[in-house]
Structures are given as C-alpha cells and as structure tokens.
C-alpha cells in the first residue's frame, strides 16, 4: 500500500503536464457541478422562500358551516385547541391565532375592500416578522390602531397617524389610526391586508374570544413535511376542522421544482460520466507509458495487487487534487456570479445556495469516481506479465 502510494506520487510527478491536465479536467467537472447545483438550489430556495417565507405552512380552519359570522366560519374558545395543536408534532414550531374578516376601508372620498386580520401581534412575529417588514411607523398596540400594506399608502397618499374608517358587512363602523405600513413583498397582500390586534378586531366585529383560523409555522428544516404534519393534525382534530398546507396549495410549483432538480441531477451525472471517462482513458494510457516500470517492478517481485494499488492511488490523488481545485473554482465562479450578475439595487439576480454538505458531497463523489475510473487501468496493470516487457527489452 505504502509503496503503491509512493510510486503513484512519483509517476504523477514524473509527468506533471499530464497530471495537471487530468486534475484540471476533474476540477472543471467538479466546479460545474458545484456551480449548477448551488444555482439550482439557490433558485429553488428563493422560490420557496417567496412562497412560504411570510405565510403559514399549515392553516387550521373551522369546517362547521352553521357557526358563521360575517360569512366566515369561526372557532370559539380556541385556547384548548391552540394548546392541543402545539403538542401534536414536535416539528410544529409556532402557532398564531388569527381573526380574519372582510371589511370596507374608507379614506376621504375613496374606499376599497380589505381583509381585516386580527392577530396577537407578538405571536404573529413567528410567521410574519412584522417588526422586520415594517417600512414606516410601528406595529399596532392600542385598540383602534391598524397597520396597512405599503401599496395602500401610495395609492391613497396615507401617512402614519391618519384616520381611516372600517365598515363591516354587518354595518359596524369604527375609526382606526394608521400606526404604520408593512411590506410583505407580495402585492396582493400589500394591497388588501389591514393588520390589527385581536382585541380591535373583536371590537369591530362585535365578537368575543372568537377567531377564524390558527396558522402554524414549522421549523425551517421541516417545511417539506407540511403535508405529513397536516395529515396528522387532520387525524387528531377530526372532521370539525379543515386543514390546509402550503404543499397541497402549491403543487404546480413543487412539481416544477422537482423537474428542475431532476434536470440538474442529470446534468451533474453527465458531467461526472465525462470526467470518469476522461480519467479512465488517460490512466489507461499511463499504464502503457509505465508498462516498462511495471515489468521491472514485477520482475523484482511486486505483487499483482500492489501493482494495481499504484493506479488506484493515482486515481485517488488525482481525485483529491481535482476536487480541491474544483471546489475552489466552483466557489470562485459562484462568488463572481453573485458579484457580477446583480440587480440594479446591488442584490444578486439569483442568490446561490452554498451548502457545505453539497460541496463536500461533490468532492467526495469526484474522489470516488476517480478511484473507480482508475479501476480499469489498475486491473490492466495487475494483469501485465513482466516477461512481455523483459523479452521485448
């Protein structure tokens, strides 16, 4: 083993140009893999972030049609339910109670319909991060304070501190002070949400301790289990409740993403195959080039297995060097991509997702592939008969 390694190193050093070319070949393969992989993963992550970043992963609604107010099915006495939901599955990170009702917003001569969303606003941070999303003003604290989407501010030239009127379907009317504006990066939300406290919403709609839904947030690593967790909640809570999850609501997006993943894997597999073929053919030539040396070594009594280790080690060393260089190239490529392919505001067009485990995985695959590619030359060298070399001088 040790001798095989030593001879492999010498063989590689004795032909630096060729060694460098193979290493470069592997490195290019690895860097393409890393770049494409990081690009696709980044793309998918940002798409998923946009889809579920600031929205509930799972929503629990009432399924009882008779208990309707303001055309909404309601949930009364939600405290027990809330506690129960939090305990259903460890993947559930947070839950937020919400009272959602439609209303009409009036400001000076204008009016439009809005969705009044009453939250326990401290709780709602878990999903909506209003403190980060706030563009101006502050989050509603007192009753009769409302926070509006940024689009409404521009549309009606509203300012923090202005008074707006909210009118419910039943005809309840109340004046609210605009406490601030938020931007949740989704225009339909920015145009129609009027966020207020649970208390204000109860007052406005004349309801007490009544909500319309409980929104659930999963830990980041578990977002793709939303459908499974939703199933479990459905089973636990029974038919009284309707459970929605983001995955079922975004099936098209998800199938698009999985198609993209498959094509990215295909690209990576083909890159890998061409790298393996490249190494295998160059190493096969190396066996020919070194057949004289192998003949001498065998005449001196090196065993066939030890002779084959030489080439396995060559493959291994080439793989290691290629992987290291390839990772450096790949990261460099990714870095320059995020530096040069940028939006007018300086943010990258696509935020690459640099996953250390993916990069390490690509490196390991390159090393394994290189060793596998060295298998054919290794077998050849173990089969080489020294007499053929000695006889033909």
Partner 1 sequence: MEKIMELRNIDKIYGTQIQTQVLYDINLSFEQGSFNSIIGQSGSGKSTLLNIMGTLDRPTNGQVLIKGIPANEMTENELADLRNTSIGFVFQFHYLLPEFTAIENVLMPFQIQTGKITKEIRNKAEEYMDLVGLSQVRNNPSSKMSGGQQQRTAIARALINRPSIILADEPTGNLDSDSTETIYELMRDINQKLGTTFIIITHDRRIAEKADRIVEIKDGRINLDIRK
The least CB distance from residue 360 to partner 1, in Å, is 31
Strands 92-107 and 110-119 come out as antiparallel
Cβ-based nearer residue to partner 1, 255 or 385: 385
The least CB distance from residue 287 to partner 1, in Å, is 15
* Residue 244 buriedness (CB in 10 A; 0-12 / 13-18 / 19+): middle
Cα distance between residue 304 and residue 297, in whole Å? 10
> Is the distance from CB of 326 to CB of 27 less than 8 angstroms?
yes
Cβ-based nearer residue to partner 1, 262 or 387: 387
The least CB distance from residue 9 to partner 1, in Å, is 9
The least CB distance from residue 306 to partner 1, in Å, is 7
Cβ-based nearer residue to partner 1, 277 or 390: 390
Structure letter (DSSP) for residue 342:
B
The least CB distance from residue 326 to partner 1, in Å, is 27
The least CB distance from residue 293 to partner 1, in Å, is 5
Specify which residues 118 forms β-bridges with.
Answer: 99, 196
Cβ-based nearer residue to partner 1, 7 or 114: 7
3-state secondary structure of 354: coil
Cβ-based nearer residue to partner 1, 13 or 141: 13
Q: How many CB atoms lie within 10 A of CB 55?
A: 17
Cα distance between residue 105 and residue 194, in whole Å? 9
The least CB distance from residue 277 to partner 1, in Å, is 27
Among 123, 118, 116, smallest CA distance to 99 is for 118
Cβ-based nearer residue to partner 1, 148 or 307: 307
Provide CB contacts within 8 A for 79, sequence distance 6+. none
The least CB distance from residue 14 to partner 1, in Å, is 4
H helices of the chain, in order, are 2-14, 16-52, 79-88, 121-128, 130-133, 150-156, 187-192, 198-205, 226-237, 246-249, 251-289, 291-299, 304-340, 356-373, 375-383, 386-391
Q: What six digits make up the tokens of 261?
A: 């993943």
Specify which residues 168 forms β-bridges with.
Answer: 103
Cβ-based nearer residue to partner 1, 238 or 301: 301
The least CB distance from residue 317 to partner 1, in Å, is 15
The least CB distance from residue 295 to partner 1, in Å, is 8
Provide CB contacts within 8 A for 74, sequence distance 6+. 62, 67, 68, 207, 210, 211, 212
Residues that bind partner 1 (CB under 8 A): 1-3, 6-7, 10-11, 13-14, 292-293, 295-304, 306, 386-387, 390-391, 393
Cβ-based nearer residue to partner 1, 28 or 297: 297
Cβ-based nearer residue to partner 1, 184 or 317: 317
Q: What six digits make up the tokens of 66?
A: 């008779």
Which residue pairs, CB below 8 angstroms and at least 24 apart, start in 265-270?
267/36, 268/33, 268/36, 268/37
The least CB distance from residue 371 to partner 1, in Å, is 21
Among 71, 1, 43, smallest CA distance to 257 is for 43
Cβ-based nearer residue to partner 1, 141 or 391: 391
As a dihedral over the C-alpha atoms of residue 66, residue 67, residue 70, residue 76, rounded to 10 degrees, the angle is: -170
Cβ-based nearer residue to partner 1, 3 or 253: 3
């Amino acid at each position: 083993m040790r001798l095989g390694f030593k001879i492999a190193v010498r063989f590689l050093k004795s032909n630096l140009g060729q060694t460098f070319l193979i290493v470069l070949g592997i490195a290019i393969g690895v860097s393409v893999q890393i770049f494409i992989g990081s690009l696709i993963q980044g793309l998918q992550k940002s798409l998923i972030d946009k889809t579920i970043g600031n929205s509930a992963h799972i929503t629990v609604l009432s399924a009882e049609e008779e208990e309707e107010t303001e055309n909404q099915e309601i949930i009364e006495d939600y405290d027990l339910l809330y506690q129960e939901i939090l305990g259903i599955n460890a993947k559930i990170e947070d839950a937020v109670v919400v009272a959602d009702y439609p209303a009409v917003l009036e400001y000076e001569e204008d009016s439009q319909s809005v969705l009044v969303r009453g939250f326990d606003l401290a709780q709602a941070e878990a999903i909506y991060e209003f403190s980060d999303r706030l563009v101006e003003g502050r989050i509603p604290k007192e009753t009769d304070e409302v926070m509006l989407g940024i689009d409404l501010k521009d549309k009606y030239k509203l300012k923090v501190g202005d008074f707006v009127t909210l009118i419910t379907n039943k005809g309840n009317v109340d004046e609210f002070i605009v406490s601030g504006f938020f931007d949740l990066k989704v225009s339909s939300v920015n145009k129609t949400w009027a966020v207020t406290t649970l208390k204000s919403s109860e007052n406005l709609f004349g309801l007490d301790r009544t909500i319309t839904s409980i929104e659930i947030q999963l830990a980041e690593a578990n977002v793709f289990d939303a459908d499974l967790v939703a199933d479990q909640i459905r089973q636990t809570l029974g038919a009284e409740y309707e459970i929605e999850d983001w995955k079922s609501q975004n099936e098209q997006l998800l199938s698009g993403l999985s198609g993209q993943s498959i094509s990215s894997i295909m690209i990576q597999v083909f890159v890998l195959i061409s790298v393996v073929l490249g190494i295998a053919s160059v190493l096969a030539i190396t066996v020919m080039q070194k057949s004289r040396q192998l003949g001498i070594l065998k005449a001196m009594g090196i065993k066939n297995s030890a002779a084959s280790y030489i080439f396995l080690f060559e493959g291994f060393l080439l793989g290691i060097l290629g992987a290291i260089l390839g990772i450096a190239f790949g990261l460099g490529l990714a870095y320059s991509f995020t530096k040069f392919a940028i939006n007018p505001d300086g943010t990258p067009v696509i935020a690459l997702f640099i996953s250390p485990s993916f990069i390490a995985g690509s490196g390991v695959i390159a090393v394994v592939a290189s060793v596998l590619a060295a298998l054919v030359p290794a077998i050849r060298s173990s089969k080489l008969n020294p007499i053929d070399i000695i006889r033909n001088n």
